[in-house]
Amino acid sequence: MSETQLAMANGPSLALSQPRLPRWAPILVAVLAIAAAGLPAMILGWGLVPWLLLAVLLFAVGLPLWSGLVENRRSAVDRLMTTLIWAAFAVALIPLVWLLWTVARIGGPRINVEFLTYSMRNILGDGGGIYHALLGTLLITAAAAVISVPIGIFAAIYLVEYGKGKTLARLMTFLVDVMTGIPSIVAGLFALALFVLLFGPETRLGFGGSVALSLLMIPIVVRSTEEMLRLVPDDLREASYALGVPKWRTITRVVLRTALGGIITGVTLAVARVIGETAPLLVIAGLSDSTNTNLFHERMTTLPVFIYYQFTQPGVVPFGSHGEAPGIARAWGAALVLIVLVMVLNLLARLIGKIFAPSKG
């Protein structure tokens, strides 16, 4: 029997591959969608946003339709979902880019050496800077981290390594969840009540702001560290125990080292969460126009509080000038510095996490 007769006897052959659209198909569909959307946009006088929305809609319909005709239903659905995901990502990115661009455009011209190295002491009009607020932000946030990080990490270690199934662990988990949702102003009122009770009704000091921020940081550090510790495989713990290593040393030398990158990331998220807080620091740390490096003496200003007061009390527009009050420009400049500070902290955390992360392979 010939090969042709044998193939016919065995029935129709099944193809091992399906036809696929070329790699440049999405680019072609995108160009056609933009061109097709441009026609009604020009006729009806639409702006850029309606034009792009119609182009995205045409792309989301055209590419899956072409894929369904050439490929198969599964590929068409896959291309449709991919398009929707990218569209959702772009929509979520628009407010972030818009915010960064607005702050950089308005606050960028205000940034100079004087703005970063001078305080607002004896400044009534234009001039002055954020040195006192920047220094206060760093000191108060650093003190809050010193308080929160050890407490949060030790609490997470207890929950994961020692408290499995215990009533105390369940109670701690419940309280941590409750603390996560506490409004920041409540933390500030608690710190104010505590220090007023200890030192008198006129007490306003930077360390009180650190205590208030630590109440907001601790639950974030606990939850993030707890999740990272749970991701450490039990095989590593058992291997360490099999070598005769005690539990405390296994935790410090194996578990914590393995989860160090995630722990640092969680601490950074906690710092980023509180570094922009305004309400608790308004209540307990107060406002000062001078540089103060002592957390335990007198008021201390932070960048969020500085921004708040510059917007609410921007000063008087100079006579004969049609511009804004000087405080508005200072507020935008301080906002840009605060955003850059948070970005630097996140990049530094990623770098440290990468350096101390356990090697793979």
Residue 10 domain flag = no
The residue among 68, 98, 128 that closes a domain is 98
- Say how far residue 29 (Cα) sits from the centre of its chain: 35
| pLDDT at residue 220, rounded to an integer | 92
How many independent structural domains does the chain possess? Answer: 2
Pair (243, 309) in one structural domain: yes
Q: How many CA atoms lie within 13 A of 236 on its CB side?
A: 17
Residue 92 domain flag = yes
The residue among 63, 98, 133 that closes a domain is 98
Three-state secondary structure readout of the chain: CCHHHHHHHCCCCCCCCCCCCCCCHHHHHHHHHHHHHHHHHHHHCCCHHHHHHHHHHHHHHHHHHHHHHHCCHHHHHHHHHHHHHHHHHHHHHHHHHHHHHHHHHHHHHHCCHHHHHCCCCCCCCCCCCCHHHHHHHHHHHHHHHHHHHHHHHHHHHHHHHHCCCCHHHHHHHHHHHHHHCCCHHHHHHHHHHHHHHHHCCCCCCHHHHHHHHHHHHHHHHHHHHHHHHHHCCHHHHHHHHHCCCCHHHHHHHHHHHHCHHHHHHHHHHHHHHHCCCCHHHHHHCCCCCCCCCCCCCCCCCCHHHHHHHHHHCCCCCCCCCCCCCHHHHHHHHHHHHHHHHHHHHHHHHHHHHHHHCCCCC
Pair (128, 217) in one structural domain: yes
| pLDDT at residue 13, rounded to an integer | 46
Task: Let me know: does 223 contact 314? Beta carbons within 8 Å.
Answer: no
* Cα 317-129-120 angle, rounded to 5 deg: 75
Task: Let me know: does 302 contact 281? Beta carbons within 8 Å.
Answer: yes
Residue 15 domain flag = no
pTM, full prediction: 0.80
Pair (89, 123) in one structural domain: no
Distance from C-alpha of 215 to C-alpha of 192, rounded to nearest angstrom: 13
| pLDDT at residue 315, rounded to an integer | 74
Computed on alpha carbons and rounded to an integer, the radius of gyration of the chain in Å comes to 29
Residue 105 domain flag = no
Per-residue buried b or exposed e for 185-217, using 16+ beta carbons within 10 Å of the residue's own CB: eebbbbbbeebeeeeeeeebbbbbbbbbbbbbb
Distance from C-alpha of 274 to C-alpha of 356, rounded to nearest angstrom: 25
Domain CATH code at residue 270: 1.10.3720.10
Pair (185, 332) in one structural domain: yes
Pair (249, 164) in one structural domain: yes
Q: How many CA atoms lie within 13 A of 293 on its CB side?
A: 1
Q: Walk along the chain (361 residues) and give the pLDDT tens digit of each residue.
A: 454 454 445 544 445 567 888 888 888 888 898 888 888 888 888 888 888 888 888 888 888 888 888 888 888 898 889 889 998 998 899 899 999 999 999 999 889 888 888 888 887 777 888 999 999 999 999 999 999 999 999 999 999 999 888 899 999 999 998 888 888 899 999 999 999 998 888 888 889 999 999 999 999 999 999 999 998 988 989 999 998 889 889 998 889 888 888 888 888 888 988 898 888 998 898 888 888 888 898 889 999 999 999 888 887 776 666 667 888 889 999 999 999 998 888 888 778 777 776 666 5
Pair (84, 123) in one structural domain: no
Residue 87 domain flag = yes
What residues contact residue 305 under an 8 Å CB cut-off, 6+ apart? Answer: 133, 278, 281, 282, 285, 287
C-alpha distance across the termini of the chain, in Å:
55
Pair (80, 192) in one structural domain: no
Distances (CA, A) of 298 to 145, 202, 293, 306: 21, 10, 10, 16
- Say how far residue 188 (Cα) sits from the centre of its chain: 22
Range of the domain at 131: 114-314+324-356
**The two three-digit tokens of residue 9, written as one number:** 């006897």
| pLDDT at residue 6, rounded to an integer | 46
Pair (136, 74) in one structural domain: no
Pair (216, 132) in one structural domain: yes
Pair (25, 93) in one structural domain: yes
Residue 205 domain flag = yes
Pair (173, 224) in one structural domain: yes
| pLDDT at residue 348, rounded to an integer | 81
The residue among 52, 72, 98 that closes a domain is 98
Pair (214, 287) in one structural domain: yes
**The two three-digit tokens of residue 284, written as one number:** 């307990």
How many residues are given for the chain? 361
Residue 124 domain flag = yes
| pLDDT at residue 266, rounded to an integer | 86
Residue 3 domain flag = no
Phi, psi of 89 (to 5 degrees): -65, -40
Measured from the Cβ of residue 295, the count of other Cβ atoms closer than 10 Å reads 19
